[in-house]
Amino acid sequence: MEYPTYVLVHGAWGGAWSWDKFTPELDRRDLSWRTLDLPSSQVGADPTSDLRADADAVAEVANRAGGPVILVGHSYAGAVIAEASASIPNVERLIYIAASVPNVGESHSDCARLVKVRTAMDKAIKVEGPLLLLDPKLSPLALYQECTPEDRAWAAAQLSTQTLASFRSPRTSQPSGVPSRYVLCRHDHALDPSLQELMAQRCDVVIEIQSDHCPFLSHPVELAHAVLG
Protein backbone atom coordinates (compact mmCIF):
# COMPACT_ATOMS: atom_id res chain seq x y z
CA MET A 1 0.00 0.00 0.00
CA GLU A 2 1.34 3.43 -0.97
CA TYR A 3 0.67 6.10 1.64
CA PRO A 4 -0.27 9.56 0.38
CA THR A 5 1.81 12.70 0.63
CA TYR A 6 0.14 15.62 2.39
CA VAL A 7 0.58 18.86 0.45
CA LEU A 8 0.09 21.66 2.98
CA VAL A 9 -1.00 24.96 1.44
CA HIS A 10 -0.85 28.09 3.57
CA GLY A 11 -3.40 30.88 3.56
CA ALA A 12 -3.08 34.52 2.55
CA TRP A 13 -0.11 36.51 3.87
CA GLY A 14 1.48 33.25 5.03
CA GLY A 15 4.22 30.96 3.78
CA ALA A 16 5.61 27.46 4.13
CA TRP A 17 6.72 28.55 7.61
CA SER A 18 3.05 28.50 8.69
CA TRP A 19 3.20 24.72 9.13
CA ASP A 20 6.37 24.57 11.26
CA LYS A 21 4.47 23.63 14.45
CA PHE A 22 2.23 21.14 12.64
CA THR A 23 4.60 19.06 10.53
CA PRO A 24 6.20 17.40 13.58
CA GLU A 25 2.82 15.75 14.14
CA LEU A 26 3.07 14.20 10.67
CA ASP A 27 6.70 13.25 11.25
CA ARG A 28 5.72 11.41 14.44
CA ARG A 29 3.40 9.27 12.33
CA ASP A 30 6.00 8.71 9.57
CA LEU A 31 3.82 10.53 7.05
CA SER A 32 5.18 12.28 4.00
CA TRP A 33 4.44 15.97 3.48
CA ARG A 34 5.33 18.94 1.30
CA THR A 35 4.94 22.70 1.75
CA LEU A 36 5.44 25.65 -0.57
CA ASP A 37 5.29 29.44 -0.76
CA LEU A 38 2.38 30.65 -2.88
CA PRO A 39 3.31 33.19 -5.58
CA SER A 40 0.63 35.63 -4.39
CA SER A 41 1.86 35.68 -0.78
CA GLN A 42 5.42 36.89 -1.08
CA VAL A 43 6.94 40.28 -0.43
CA GLY A 44 7.76 41.67 -3.85
CA ALA A 45 5.25 39.36 -5.54
CA ASP A 46 4.11 40.07 -9.07
CA PRO A 47 0.84 41.92 -8.38
CA THR A 48 -0.84 39.97 -11.18
CA SER A 49 -0.28 36.67 -9.33
CA ASP A 50 -3.77 35.25 -9.05
CA LEU A 51 -5.61 32.10 -8.04
CA ARG A 52 -4.47 30.26 -11.17
CA ALA A 53 -0.81 31.05 -10.48
CA ASP A 54 -1.15 29.71 -6.95
CA ALA A 55 -2.99 26.60 -8.14
CA ASP A 56 -0.30 25.90 -10.73
CA ALA A 57 2.37 26.12 -8.02
CA VAL A 58 0.46 23.62 -5.87
CA ALA A 59 -0.07 21.26 -8.81
CA GLU A 60 3.64 21.32 -9.60
CA VAL A 61 4.57 20.33 -6.04
CA ALA A 62 1.84 17.70 -5.82
CA ASN A 63 2.65 16.08 -9.16
CA ARG A 64 6.34 15.91 -8.26
CA ALA A 65 5.46 13.84 -5.20
CA GLY A 66 5.19 10.84 -7.49
CA GLY A 67 2.22 9.13 -5.83
CA PRO A 68 -1.15 9.77 -4.21
CA VAL A 69 -1.56 13.15 -2.53
CA ILE A 70 -3.94 14.79 -0.10
CA LEU A 71 -4.30 18.54 -0.48
CA VAL A 72 -4.71 20.55 2.73
CA GLY A 73 -5.71 24.18 2.27
CA HIS A 74 -6.04 26.86 4.94
CA SER A 75 -8.29 29.92 4.60
CA TYR A 76 -7.74 31.46 1.12
CA ALA A 77 -5.93 28.26 0.12
CA GLY A 78 -9.25 26.46 0.13
CA ALA A 79 -9.84 28.22 -3.18
CA VAL A 80 -6.33 27.26 -4.28
CA ILE A 81 -6.68 23.52 -3.68
CA ALA A 82 -10.14 23.49 -5.24
CA GLU A 83 -8.69 25.11 -8.37
CA ALA A 84 -5.57 22.91 -8.38
CA SER A 85 -7.20 19.55 -7.79
CA ALA A 86 -8.34 19.09 -11.41
CA SER A 87 -4.69 19.31 -12.50
CA ILE A 88 -3.48 16.61 -10.10
CA PRO A 89 -4.31 13.09 -11.33
CA ASN A 90 -3.27 11.40 -8.09
CA VAL A 91 -5.23 13.56 -5.65
CA GLU A 92 -7.09 11.42 -3.11
CA ARG A 93 -8.77 13.95 -0.84
CA LEU A 94 -9.22 17.66 -0.20
CA ILE A 95 -9.06 18.98 3.35
CA TYR A 96 -10.17 22.52 4.07
CA ILE A 97 -9.15 24.27 7.30
CA ALA A 98 -11.24 27.36 8.15
CA ALA A 99 -11.29 27.89 4.40
CA SER A 100 -13.29 29.21 1.50
CA VAL A 101 -14.69 26.53 -0.80
CA PRO A 102 -15.71 28.42 -3.93
CA ASN A 103 -17.99 26.97 -6.54
CA VAL A 104 -16.95 27.31 -10.17
CA GLY A 105 -17.16 31.01 -11.05
CA GLU A 106 -16.76 32.18 -7.46
CA SER A 107 -13.70 33.82 -5.95
CA HIS A 108 -12.42 33.86 -2.38
CA SER A 109 -13.88 37.37 -2.06
CA ASP A 110 -17.25 36.16 -3.35
CA CYS A 111 -17.33 33.51 -0.63
CA ALA A 112 -16.44 36.05 2.06
CA ARG A 113 -19.43 38.18 1.07
CA LEU A 114 -21.93 35.37 1.65
CA VAL A 115 -22.37 36.46 5.28
CA LYS A 116 -22.69 40.03 6.51
CA VAL A 117 -20.34 39.73 9.48
CA ARG A 118 -17.37 42.07 9.87
CA THR A 119 -14.52 40.26 11.62
CA ALA A 120 -11.43 41.44 13.45
CA MET A 121 -9.47 40.38 10.38
CA ASP A 122 -11.54 42.60 8.10
CA LYS A 123 -10.56 45.57 10.23
CA ALA A 124 -6.87 44.64 9.91
CA ILE A 125 -6.76 44.53 6.10
CA LYS A 126 -5.55 47.55 4.18
CA VAL A 127 -5.67 47.93 0.39
CA GLU A 128 -2.59 49.53 -1.13
CA GLY A 129 -2.87 49.57 -4.90
CA PRO A 130 -2.79 45.97 -6.18
CA LEU A 131 -1.75 44.58 -2.77
CA LEU A 132 -3.46 43.72 0.51
CA LEU A 133 -1.52 44.59 3.65
CA LEU A 134 -2.19 43.80 7.31
CA ASP A 135 -2.18 46.21 10.22
CA PRO A 136 0.66 44.91 12.46
CA LYS A 137 -1.26 45.84 15.61
CA LEU A 138 -4.63 44.33 14.70
CA SER A 139 -3.76 41.23 12.68
CA PRO A 140 -1.94 39.12 15.32
CA LEU A 141 -4.99 38.79 17.55
CA ALA A 142 -7.29 38.35 14.56
CA LEU A 143 -5.24 35.38 13.38
CA TYR A 144 -3.47 33.97 16.42
CA GLN A 145 -5.42 34.89 19.55
CA GLU A 146 -5.07 31.41 21.07
CA CYS A 147 -1.35 31.08 20.37
CA THR A 148 1.28 31.77 23.00
CA PRO A 149 2.55 35.37 22.96
CA GLU A 150 5.88 34.05 21.67
CA ASP A 151 4.32 32.11 18.78
CA ARG A 152 2.02 35.02 17.99
CA ALA A 153 4.94 37.43 17.71
CA TRP A 154 6.98 34.92 15.69
CA ALA A 155 4.21 34.35 13.16
CA ALA A 156 3.18 37.99 12.88
CA ALA A 157 6.77 39.00 12.11
CA GLN A 158 6.75 36.73 9.02
CA LEU A 159 3.46 37.82 7.44
CA SER A 160 3.83 39.07 3.89
CA THR A 161 1.71 41.05 1.45
CA GLN A 162 -1.09 39.45 -0.56
CA THR A 163 -2.13 40.27 -4.11
CA LEU A 164 -5.63 41.63 -4.58
CA ALA A 165 -5.84 39.58 -7.79
CA SER A 166 -5.62 36.33 -5.83
CA PHE A 167 -8.74 37.15 -3.82
CA ARG A 168 -10.73 38.41 -6.78
CA SER A 169 -9.97 35.77 -9.42
CA PRO A 170 -12.70 33.11 -9.76
CA ARG A 171 -12.36 29.38 -9.67
CA THR A 172 -12.40 27.95 -13.18
CA SER A 173 -11.72 24.22 -12.71
CA GLN A 174 -14.48 21.66 -12.40
CA PRO A 175 -14.76 19.55 -9.22
CA SER A 176 -12.32 16.66 -9.12
CA GLY A 177 -14.88 14.33 -7.52
CA VAL A 178 -12.62 13.23 -4.67
CA PRO A 179 -13.79 13.12 -1.02
CA SER A 180 -13.54 16.34 0.95
CA ARG A 181 -13.32 17.22 4.63
CA TYR A 182 -13.88 20.57 6.35
CA VAL A 183 -12.22 21.51 9.65
CA LEU A 184 -14.38 24.24 11.19
CA CYS A 185 -12.61 26.47 13.72
CA ARG A 186 -15.24 27.57 16.20
CA HIS A 187 -13.27 30.44 17.82
CA ASP A 188 -12.19 32.02 14.54
CA HIS A 189 -11.88 35.84 14.43
CA ALA A 190 -10.74 35.96 10.79
CA LEU A 191 -13.18 33.77 8.82
CA ASP A 192 -16.36 33.89 10.82
CA PRO A 193 -17.72 30.49 11.94
CA SER A 194 -21.09 31.32 10.33
CA LEU A 195 -19.32 31.58 6.97
CA GLN A 196 -17.41 28.38 7.67
CA GLU A 197 -20.70 26.61 8.30
CA LEU A 198 -21.83 27.57 4.78
CA MET A 199 -18.52 26.46 3.27
CA ALA A 200 -18.63 23.19 5.20
CA GLN A 201 -21.95 22.31 3.57
CA ARG A 202 -20.00 21.97 0.31
CA CYS A 203 -17.84 19.17 1.78
CA ASP A 204 -18.51 15.51 2.56
CA VAL A 205 -17.33 15.45 6.19
CA VAL A 206 -17.22 18.24 8.77
CA ILE A 207 -15.10 18.22 11.93
CA GLU A 208 -15.28 21.05 14.47
CA ILE A 209 -12.39 22.07 16.69
CA GLN A 210 -12.30 24.74 19.38
CA SER A 211 -9.62 26.88 17.81
CA ASP A 212 -8.70 30.27 16.44
CA HIS A 213 -8.06 30.77 12.73
CA CYS A 214 -4.64 29.12 12.73
CA PRO A 215 -4.84 25.77 14.58
CA PHE A 216 -1.58 24.57 13.01
CA LEU A 217 0.08 27.03 15.40
CA SER A 218 -2.31 27.13 18.35
CA HIS A 219 -3.68 23.55 18.42
CA PRO A 220 -1.41 21.35 16.27
CA VAL A 221 -2.30 18.08 18.02
CA GLU A 222 -6.05 18.64 17.70
CA LEU A 223 -5.61 19.67 14.09
CA ALA A 224 -3.61 16.53 13.35
CA HIS A 225 -6.46 14.38 14.66
CA ALA A 226 -8.96 16.32 12.51
CA VAL A 227 -6.82 16.17 9.36
CA LEU A 228 -5.85 12.54 9.72
CA GLY A 229 -9.27 11.37 10.83
Please count the structural domains in the chain: 1
Q: In the predicted model, is pLDDT for residue 6 greater than 90?
A: yes
Identify the pLDDT of residue 1. 64
Give the range of the structural domain holding residue 56, as residue numbers without chain letter: 5-228
**Burial (0-12, 13-18, 19+ Cβ within 10 Å), 222:** middle
Q: What is the mean pLDDT of the chain?
A: 97
Alpha-carbon dihedral 209, 41, 111, 122, rounded to 10 degrees? 80
**pTM: predicted TM-score of the whole model, two decimal places:** 0.97
Q: What is the CATH number of the domain that holds 93?
A: 3.40.50.1820
Cα separations in angstroms, 128 against 35, 55, 134, 177? 28, 24, 10, 38
The predicted model gives 161-173 an average pLDDT of 98
26-35 residue pLDDT tens: 999 999 999 9
Cβ contact 51:171 at 8 Å: yes
Amino acid letter, residue 196: Q
